[in-house]
Each structure stands twice: as C-alpha cells, then as structure tokens.
C-alpha cells in the first residue's frame, strides 16, 4: 500500500516506463498473437492494460482520461502506445492534483470490496505487471525481441558484454 503520493509517483513512473518499452516493441501483426484459442490476443491484453487506468481509477472519484471499457482495441500498436501514454500521464496529473497523502487512507468500493486508495494504486501497478508478463511470453511466440524492462532480457545480455544466460 502506498502511504505517500510521492512514492506512488516514483513507482508509477518506473512501471509506466516498463510498459511503454514493452508496448513500443509490438508490431501491428503481433497484436494478433493469441494466448490460446478463445483467449485474448496480445493486442487485447495491451488494450486492457490501457483501459484499466481510467476504469479502475474512476471508481475512486478520479477522472483520468483514456479509453473506456467499450472502446474496441486499435489495430495499430502505435495507437495503443499513444493511448497508454495519454492515460498514464492523465492518471499522474489527477492523483497529484486531487489527492494528498491523507487521501490514500480513504476507502472506495472497488468490485464489491472496500479498498484503501493506497492499495488501489498498488493493485493498478500489479495489474500492469501481471499482464506485461503475459505479453512477454506472447512476444516470443510472435517472434519479437523481448525488451528488458527491469534488467536485460535473454537477447540483451550481449549489450552488456556478457553471454546470454544458459538455459
């Protein structure tokens, strides 16, 4: 749980950067990569991450700009990244203008449970991490190079003058 806006802002900046790096590695064709028959595509997962920012945070009284749950997923990876950047920046603007450290202790009804706002912010980040992890597996299946969001990916060790880790 976050107890200080400054701590959330720092964590969000780092996590949003990791999400941007991941989304920037997508191609329009890779958006069609399915998890499995009857499941989301990689594009739908990226779009879900983007849509969740305004959807979840609207339940706390904030109004970050971004796509609604009903907006269809774009067919363009660049458009998903553009929309994500807008929603992520809008969230920080809303939190820093409308909340303070004491506000993080207030509870809101989220999905039938009472969540403190500091918990909601942590869960929003964990939600992104969860789905970004799914995407990295799909990226390999789609033949994309996986970017190292928090340290080098398998392919990036060479950039540091080191051999790829053994499997």
Domain count, the chain: 1
Residue 106 inside a domain? The answer is yes
Residue 75 inside a domain? The answer is yes
The domain that contains 34 carries what CATH number? 1.20.120.450
Instruction: Please check the confidence at residue 150 and state whether its pLDDT lies above 80.
Output: no
Residue 83 inside a domain? The answer is yes
Tens-place pLDDT, residues 32-57: 998 888 889 999 999 999 999 999 99
pLDDT reported for residue 35: 82
Q: pTM for this one?
A: 0.92
Residue 159 inside a domain? The answer is no
Residue 139 inside a domain? The answer is yes
Tens-place pLDDT, residues 95-113: 999 999 999 999 999 999 9
Residue 17 inside a domain? The answer is yes
Residue 167 inside a domain? The answer is no
DSSP string, the chain: ----HHHHHHHHHHHHHHHHHHHHT--TGGGG-BSSTTS-BHHHHHHHHHHHHHHHHHTTT----S--TTSPPPS-HHHHHHHHHHHHHHHHHHHHHH--GGGGG-EEEETTEEEEHHHHHHHHHHHHHHHHHHHHHHHHHTTPPPP-TTS--GGGGGGGT-PPPP-
Where in the sequence is the domain holding 121, given as residue range(s)? 5-154
A 10 A CB-CB count for 97 gives 8
Residue 138 inside a domain? The answer is yes
């Amino acid at each position: 749980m976050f107890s200080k806006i400054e701590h959330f802002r720092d964590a969000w900046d780092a996590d949003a950067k990791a999400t941007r790096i991941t989304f920037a590695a997508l191609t329009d064709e890779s958006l069609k990569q399915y998890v499995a028959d009857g499941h989301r595509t990689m594009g739908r997962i990226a779009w879900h991450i983007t849509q969740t920012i305004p959807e979840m945070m609207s339940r706390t009284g904030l109004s970050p700009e971004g796509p609604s749950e009903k907006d269809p997923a774009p067919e363009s990876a660049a458009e998903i990244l553009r929309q994500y950047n807008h929603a992520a920046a809008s969230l920080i603007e809303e939190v820093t203008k409308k909340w303070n450290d004491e506000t993080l202790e207030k509870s809101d009804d989220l999905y039938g449970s009472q969540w403190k706002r500091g918990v909601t912010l942590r869960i929003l980040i964990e939600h992104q991490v969860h789905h970004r992890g799914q995407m990295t597996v799909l990226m390999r299946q789609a033949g994309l190079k996986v970017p190292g969001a928090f340290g080098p990916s398998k392919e990036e060790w060479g950039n540091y003058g080191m051999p790829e880790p053994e499997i």
